[in-house]
Every structure is written in structure tokens, then in C-alpha cells.
Structure 1
């Protein structure tokens, strides 16, 4: 029992650090050194697969990147903003938030921004200057965003008009694909659950997860602060450890479907096509914190 408590305390400490990192960070202008393998990327805040062509996109502290034909990271577009919350919808549109790159004339908090051309260009949608979304999820024709600036969940049908919902301190959120009223949030005390669309959340409870992703009703994935990947087939009531994502502390997790998922850790972006049993590295990452 003592060893378990020590392990839980260490995991909780790691999650607290993740919750604190990059909150209100406007970017440090970190160098983007050129190496034989291409630009170095770090501080990943989101990963996604485009539904039209299966291409990987990685949102980082210094722009959005995608692998070239040789697997080297290539900057998409010309904006090196600090992309925080990031999601690719079923319609292929990118939604994101964060902070502008150093020297760019823009509010410190970008609010919700959108790209309809796979990240080459971006348009302001709403809440510019007001909100930094650290987590974004889309389900049931609705956008769910965790507003880290104010510590609450916001919900919008059109990405312009938002409803304020429950207050909490979270790192990631996931919405049930079968029930718009069921929302999970990863907190420093464990998974917090809402059954009223995020208006209220219960107390955090074990297991402690850093990131969650819920694309199929029978496949809720969660990755703990140590990188252990867990799967729940009953909406989080019970969990089974299915594998470990290589590379240390996790930075992002996205399930594409019940068997395919992408996860970012401190040394790489990894993909699994067998429900987390095995992983293939898609991109190298310079060690750095996530959110």
C-alpha cells in the first residue's frame, strides 16, 4: 500500500506540473534549430489525424507541424504561435487556441481560431483576447472547450456564442460519443465526471489520468502521467491497462477510432493501429513539457 501511495503521489505531482505549465505563456521565442533531420519540435499540446488523407498534424509551442515524405517535421503555414488546445473535426476543420508568436501583433490569448485549409491559414472565430483554451473536443455538433484562463468549461454550437458551464481545474477533457451530457475531465485528484453536459462535475477519482480521448462508445482511452495507456469499454467505470506509450511523460493523446490512436510523449509522437498494444514512432521530439 505504501508503494502505491508513493506512486500515486508522484503521478499527481507530474499532473500538477502539467496543469501549471504554459498557463498564460506567450511564447519564449525558443530557437528552431535546423538539423539533418529537420527542425526540432517540442512542447506538444495536441495531435490529430486528418480524416481526408490520414495525415498527422502536431500542434506545438512553436507552430503546427506535419511529417514530410521522409518523416521529418515540416512547419504548416507560416505561423509559429503557441498552439494550445487543438482538434481536427470530422469535417476536416482545425480548431485551436493559444498565444501569438513573439513579435506578432495579436492579443495574448487567441480565443478560438479556425483553419479550413489544414493549418496553412487561420481565422479568428471568437473570444480573442479573452480566453486560452487548453483542451478542445467536438461531439454532437458542439464544441467543448476548457477555458484555462478562467478555469471553466465552455460550450458552443457555432464557435461564436458560448455558454459558461462548470468551474474546475483540468488538463484535458473528453465527451462521450454516445451521450452529450457525459463529459470527463482529467484533474490532479483523478477523473472528474459530469452527467449534465459539463454544468457540474463530481470530485476527481482514481484512476489518475493525464489525457483522455473518447471516439467510440466502447473505446475510451486514458494515459496516465507515467505513459501507461488504459482502455475502458464502459465509459470509465472500469479500466484495463493495454500498453505503455514509449518516451516518458505524455503530452497529448487522440483516438482516431476504436483501434487507432496517436500519442505524444517527451521524445516522440507515436501511433498505434492495434488499440495500444504496439506503437510506431512517427516524429522525433526534443524533450520538453506539454501543457
Structure 2
């Protein structure tokens, strides 16, 4: 789980990461009754059939009707960490098995191709917990992951896969924060699978060589959540600066940003999802477990969940 506090004038940031669909909802799903409260949201997805997915400490849920009804997704109770949806619709995650699972801990990289129903081990089962995973929009075979704590033979650092998560190599990186818990967001730029952007507690960092060397391109901005806009080279983020905060768009690989609104004040977005075909449809989950959606490119927003409490 990621938490943030933003103070007016001078910004202080603390990050804590804790381990701690098909069109037929009748298969492997169960309706969620009113009163359900969701905690520790670790991921967000918006699929082409208008389903919204929330990955959490206690499994995954989804809604197909803008939050009026929610369903448990699949039959796993994973503690989803590093949850990410690739441009071809494949869901990937890391994290920990739930109490009803007999899988080794941690999960390594798990993969799903039917919107959360059936998960299969891709690699590193029992060896690694990636708290952040991302892949390139144009070439989803290229993946990057962040290991923030030493795990056996796997040291903290950025890891890269060139075969969709089957094999991983640690990148000999320089310029990242000394404490990798200070990395909030990571994106592989859609026009260059060797170029990366990271939102960190020391500013916005960029790498042009697959994560080997990093330079600060903006030391006055914190990017807590970032994604690509499908079918384009544009980036969308939640950015915090001394004078502004909100959803912002960049058309130049993160060098400059244009605000489109949704200043959340003392809260901030932890995850942003964009509909893969109707890109004016956006979804945001905040650090305080609020879920908001927009159907007009961010001009107006509707709240579907407040502090983990579903509106149904």
C-alpha cells in the first residue's frame, strides 16, 4: 500500500509499501453485498468492455455497470502487488498468496489472459515480490520491475525482461533514489522501449538506456501515478508541485505537463487507468481508497467508492 502526505508550500513525501473479464459474470464470480469495505488497493484496470477492476490486499473485484454492482473476480485471494495491465490486455501481478492458497511466497510474476479469472505462474515463483511492474505499450514483451527489498539472491533494484516476464536480469543502475521505496511510479515510454520515466521522492527521473543511468529532469514535481494513453505517445499522470496538483497530460515524454483538473488536495492518485478504446474514459484510485471515474477526458468526475466503501 502506498501512502502520501502533501503539505502546502514545502512538499514532504513518505512512501510505505506493505505486503501485508469475460462477458459472463456467472463464472467464477460472486456478487458483493452492500457494506463491503475494500482496503489496501494495489492496482486498477479499465477494460474495453467497460469493466473496472480493483486489485487489493485481499483479491480482486470488478464492476461492469459503473459501480452499481460489484463482483469478486476469479478464485484467488492474492495480495496483489505491482499489478499492471499490458497493452494486449494481459494482466500481470506480483505479491503474495492469500491464506487459502498453497502457492509459495512470494508470487514472483503471475499472468492472466481472461480478465482476472485464471492466474498462472510466469516466473520467479517463491523468489521475488515486484512492488512495481510496467511494460512498453508498443512492445509488451519489454517489461520492467522494481524490487525494493533484498530477497534471497535478488538484490534491490530495477529488473528488465525482454520476453514478457519469463526471464529477468537486474539492471546495473545509477541515479535512482538510495531507498527504492522512494519510487512511486514507473513507465516505459511508448515511443522507445529503452526510455523510462520514474516519479520519485527526489523528482522526476528519466533513463534513455533501459534503466542503466538516470537523470533528474524535474526536481520540483512528484508523479504519484502514471500511465500511457492507448494509441498515442501521450502520458497521463497525477502530478504534485508546489503550486498545483491534479491529472496532467504530457505530449513530450514528461518534459512538460498540462493540467486537466482533479486536484485532490491532501489526497493524491495512486493509480490511473484509461479505457483502451474510448480514451476519454478515465479511472483513478487514490491513496485514501477513493475511486473516481470520468467519461469526458477528466473534465467531470463521479465518485464510485469513498474510503474503500462501495456505493452499492
Same fold flag (TM > 0.5):
yes
CA-CA distance at 1:107 after TM superposition? 2.8
Which protein has the bigger helix share?
A: 1
Query: Residues 178-189 of structure 1: matches in 2 within 5 Å?
Result: 178-189=191-202
Q: 50, 57, 60: which is aligned to 2:56?
A: 60
Contact 1:50 1:88 in 2 (8 A): no
Match in the other structure for 1:96: 93
Q: How many residues align?
A: 268
Partner Cα separation in structure 2 for residue 259 and residue 178 of structure 1: 21
Tell me if 1:251 matches 2:270.
Answer: yes
Kindly report the root-mean-square deviation, in angstroms, between the aligned alpha carbons of the 2 structures: 2.7
Match in the other structure for 2:224: 210
Q: 5+ residue gaps in structure 2?
A: 1-5, 21-30, 150-154
CA-CA distance at 1:64 after TM superposition? 1.0
Tell me if 1:237 matches 2:259.
Answer: no
Match in the other structure for 2:25: none
Query: Residues 106-117 of structure 1: matches in 2 within 5 Å?
Result: 106-117=103-114
CA-CA distance at 1:227 after TM superposition? 6.2
Tell me if 1:144 matches 2:144.
Answer: yes
Partner Cα separation in structure 2 for residue 60 and residue 126 of structure 1: 21
Tell me if 1:85 matches 2:99.
Answer: no
Match in the other structure for 2:206: 193
Partner Cα separation in structure 1 for residue 299 and residue 156 of structure 2: 35
Contact 1:147 1:154 in 2 (8 A): yes
Bigger drift between 205-214 and 222-231 goes to: 222-231
CA distance 1:174–1:36, change in 2 (3 Å) = same
Q: 275, 292, 297: which is aligned to 1:275?
A: 297
CA distance 1:174–1:264, change in 2 (3 Å) = same
Q: 164, 171, 175: which is aligned to 2:170?
A: 164
Partner Cα separation in structure 1 for residue 146 and residue 280 of structure 2: 26
TM-score by length of 1: 0.81
Match in the other structure for 1:263: 284
2:222 is paired with a residue of what secondary structure?
Answer: coil
